[in-house]
Amino acid sequence: MFAPLLPAVRRFLMKRAPADDVDDLLQDVALRMHTRRPQGDILNPEGYVFQVAQSVLADRARRDAVRQRSRHVTMEESDHPVEVRSPERVMLGREQWSRLVAAVGDLPERTRQAFVLHRFEEMNYAAIARHMGISVSAVEKHIMKAIRLLAATLER
């Protein structure tokens, strides 16, 4: 009954929505027409179909506003290329890892202990302070010192 009207509805939607959304919107119109069949005869089937199409557009606009669709960014493959694991890159990563491990080993004992407990054992500052018998402030200073020394080592 409504199938012959779908090309006209498509044209209606193309004037009011982005081209990429038209097929989805048309499917929503067809689905509503199928699931919400009126009880009696429809006096103006064309008007009814276009009213449903307008309702679908309004619903989409409300959903887009709530979900802030206009602020979404598409994830294109060119924007996020797959990293190549070349032998050179693997070697550089291993060298950097070796330098980092050596730098952690060169840290002063208490600083290294606080850093390892926080970064590798995932302890919070209060737990580290209790474990080491120092204040939370001292733990913060040790962690900051470790990060500063490690960053300087990796920059070389």
pLDDT tens for residues 69-90?
Answer: 778 777 777 766 777 778 888 8
Q: Structure tokens of 8?
A: 């006209």
Q: What's phi and psi for 104, nearest 5 deg?
A: -65, -40
Q: What is the pLDDT of residues 79-127, one digit of tens each?
A: 667 777 788 888 988 998 898 899 999 999 999 999 999 999 999 999 9
How far apart (Å, rounded) are the C-alpha atoms in residues 142 and 104?
13
Residue spans per domain, the chain: 1-70+89-106, 108-155
pTM of structure: 0.46
Q: What are phi and psi of 126, to 5 degrees?
A: -65, -40
